[in-house]
């Protein structure tokens, strides 16, 4: 979805081949006031992927959805020239994903502002062997400069 306004995506199922890269589930690029709800996304690459190429991306709400991804279930970027603002993720089930949440902010974009994760069930297992994966943030100084008002409830 590119340069769109006031879009609702609901009650859809996306099945991508888990062995093929570059088959994102839903890319939200330069689009605003987007709602994704009651979706089932099963893909070999990023499942939900906001990108800012020509302007900021704001007011994204994702609720009541199930995600499996061989890459990142939710990934910000890699196109990240502008702000990501006012995002809510509520009641999201993530299974069998290499990364539940990823920030690939590398294009000089400004900030991630007002991100809310609530009733967020995250079960990570690697594809090569099942195990619970401990989530770590490696560069906290860099992330503190980029993220404002990140709430995980």
Supply the DSSP string of 44-62, one letter for each residue.
SS-SEEEEBSSS-EEEEEE
Strand residue runs (E) in the chain: 5-10, 13-15, 26-29, 32-37, 40-43, 48-51, 57-69, 72-78, 84-95, 99-105, 112-118, 121-122, 147-152
What is the pLDDT at residue 36? Answer: 98
What is the pLDDT at residue 116? Answer: 75
pTM beyond 0.75: the answer is yes
Domain count, the chain: 1
Average pLDDT, the chain: 79
What is the pLDDT at residue 43? Answer: 93
pLDDT for residue 141 is more than 50: no
Tell me the pLDDT tens digit for each residue of 61-91: 999 999 998 888 999 888 888 888 888 888 8
In sequence order, what are the beta bridge partners of 2? 29
CB atoms within 10 A of CB 62: 26
Confidence of residue 112 (pLDDT cuts 50, 70, 90): confident
What is the pLDDT at residue 135? Answer: 38
Q: Does residue 40 or residue 109 have the better pLDDT? A: 40
Q: Which range marks the domain in which residue 93 is found?
A: 5-152
Confidence of residue 133 (pLDDT cuts 50, 70, 90): very low
Average pLDDT for residues 100-124, to the nearest whole number?
70
pLDDT for residue 140 is more than 90: no
State the Cα–Cα distance between residues 109 and 143, nearest whole angstrom.
13
């Amino acid at each position: 979805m590119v340069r769109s306004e006031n879009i609702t995506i609901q009650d859809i199922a996306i099945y991508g081949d888990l062995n093929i890269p570059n088959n994102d589930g839903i890319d939200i690029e330069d689009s605003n006031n987007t709602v994704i709800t009651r979706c089932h996304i099963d893909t070999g690459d990023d499942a939900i992927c906001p990108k800012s190429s020509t302007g900021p991306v704001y007011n994204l709400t994702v609720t009541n959805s199930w995600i499996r991804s061989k890459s990142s279930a939710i990934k910000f970027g890699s196109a990240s020239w502008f702000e990501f603002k006012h995002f809510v993720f509520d009641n999201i089930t993530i299974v069998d994903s290499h990364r539940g949440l990823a920030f690939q902010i590398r294009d000089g974009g400004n900030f991630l502002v007002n991100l809310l994760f609530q009733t967020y069930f995250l079960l990570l297992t690697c594809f090569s062997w099942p195990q619970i994966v401990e989530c770590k943030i490696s560069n906290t100084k860099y992330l503190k400069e980029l993220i404002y008002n990140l709430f995980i409830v």
